[in-house]
Structure 1
């Protein structure tokens, strides 16, 4: 795949991005878009806006003014959008402010922050937020029109599995409305789930199940330990479901039934990863998946129904934490630990979808050897 050169900006162009919703800063020759970070800045948005369109090298290093942690630099790394140039040349070679020519980046040998993935054409998680021109995307790829219901386009598309997998793992970002239409009819509400639905529906059910289970224990600590076991078991289930069900990918049957089921279950999330209404599991799908695990809990802990329910309730609580974590990783600024987890998960989307299956944690990726590597090759068939 051809390489891609990140955009170049003159000083005047950078200075024009100086508002709370369109804020660029520079460090040396690197240009960063920090618009999404303005309101979340710990010192207040005014401190960022004072340097909007300007170089922040000195202020970042000024201990007397404000000490910046490593996480601040990590956020900047994810926000690289281009390079500062003295002028835009007419011969196709832009010059950096230091006079050196910019080099096109096209693969894992490029190194540094400008590594661009050969399949997705992305270099950082920030790319996931760049608006997709729906008309141009459809014209170029002949895959899905984001302005029309997606489900029937996949069902009637006649796509080969190879083409389908290639396309859904090239993330798009839709800004034409709250979400791209999925069914486009009375079923549309069933395809959208705000994150707060998860605790609203399931925490009362978990509390009731825990209350029933408590009647079988002499000491609360016993129930707590079994519930904790369920929570730990959930983290393994989360990993296995994500890896072997949601990313069945190359084991899919090469027909429209398999492809459409895959798209409905998880493919749509990789195709439109920043769609905030298709980030958590719809209640109907949760019920379909939850019932077999309830029966499994009863089978494994067959000697005591109360133990089985305590473990199951802990597992379901783990699921709710996972689903909310998944939403927050995509759409919220989080403490340091979660910043690392956020980078890990978003790299699963734009860098290497065949690794990095843990969402609420990276433990099982380390155990099973599926950690993300920036130089990891992607399958093409």
Structure 2
């Protein structure tokens, strides 16, 4: 895949179109009721700084939690937003998060901070920043999962770390575009030789034994992910 082909494919995803439309609407509301310039800049800056931390926390302690699949009304959500992605990292239909979970999350992470800084206009500016940041994050996520090898060293390092997260040890490298918090919390690893291969890298701890007690995800998935994805038949 060439970079051109990747860009064309990226802008065809409904989720990306939805994020860009939502950002345009948020900017429109900002124009209608703007915040002072300094407050706007501060709201945008805080959103840019806080968003990677929020994503790290959600990725590590929510998506990689071992409690969501135990709750019947959360099992389907956990399966869709992360289990399916890990049991087959190359399954592009679940590459992007579900909009009914991502849009509220982006709003909750960014808008309240923006409101505290600049009122309604600040909230709109921060939310739009979160949406654009998500588009950037998803573009890098596409690079990491599609058959494209980036020439840029930074993007290549991102892809190497993320592939290690998916195929070697899922308990590290939680960042996608920003690994500062991985460094700070000690979850970053540069080489797979630094860690033992995780036996739960594809099922996130949802093993056949666990499924016997909490069968909700297994019923929806037609079983439990075991072994490397290439050895399994996608259902």
TM-score of the pair, normalised by structure 2: 0.67
- Residue in structure 2 matched with residue 229 of structure 1 by the alignment: 46
Map of 1:265 onto structure 2? 81
Query: 2:217 aligned with 1:361, yes or no?
Result: no
Matched-pair contact (CA < 8 Å) for 2:169–2:195:
yes
Indicate if the aligned counterparts of 1:227 and 1:310 stay in contact, CA closer than 8 A: yes
Alpha-carbon spacing, 1:207–1:254, altered in 2? closer, same or farther (3 Å): closer
Residue aligning to 2:34? 216
Distance (whole Å) between structure 2 residues aligned to residue 267 and residue 288 of structure 1: 20
Partner of 1:7: none
Matched, 1:241 2:55: no
Distance 2:177 2:105 in 1: 19
Provide the C-alpha distance between the structure 1 equivalents of 2:88 and 2:194, rounded to a whole number of angstroms.
Answer: 24
> What is the CA–CA distance in structure 2 between the aligned matches of 1:198 and 1:308, rounded to whole Å?
22
Tell me the CA shift for residue 326 of structure 1: 0.9
Name the counterpart of 2:193: 374
1:309 to 2:127 alignment: no
1:274 to 90, 96, 107: 90
In our comparison, the structure showing a higher alpha carbon Rg is: 1
Secondary structure of 1:277 counterpart: helix
Aligned to 2:227: none
**1:287 aligned to 87, 94, 103, which one?**
103
As a proportion of its length, which structure holds more helix? 2
The separation in 1 between residues aligned to 2:99 and 2:73, in whole angstroms, is: 22
Q: What is the aligned length?
A: 189
SS in 2 for 1:304: helix
- 1 or 2, which has the higher strand percentage? 1
Structure 1: distance between partners of 2:43 and 2:52? 15
How is 1:45-64 mapped onto 2 (pairs within 5 angstroms)? none
**Take 2:58 and 2:195, find their aligned partners in 1: how far apart are those partners?**
22
* Structure 2 CA distance for partners of 1:204 and 1:265, relative to 1, 3 Å: closer
The answer on whether the counterparts of 1:195 and 1:280 sit within 8 Å (CA) in structure 2 is: no
* Inter-CA distance 256–216: structure 2 relative to 1 (3 Å threshold): closer
- How far apart are residue 222 of structure 1 and its match? 5.0
For structure 2, the 5+ residue unaligned runs are: 4-9, 206-235
Partner of 1:29: none
Structure 1 CA distance, aligned partners of 2:45 and 2:117? 18
In 2: Cα distance, 1:292 partner to 1:316 partner = 12
Q: CA RMSD in A?
A: 3.1
Q: Aligned partners of 1:290, 1:218: CA distance in 2, in Å?
A: 23
> 2:143 aligned with 1:328, yes or no?
yes
Q: Which runs of 5+ in 1 are unaligned?
A: 1-35, 41-192
* Number of the residue aligned with 1:202: 19
Q: Which residue of 1 aligns with 2:214?
A: none
Could you say what secondary structure the match of 2:193 adopts? coil
Kept in 1: contact 2:43–2:126 (CA 8 A): yes
In structure 2, the CA distance between the partners of 1:252 and 1:197, relative to structure 1 (3 Å rule), is closer
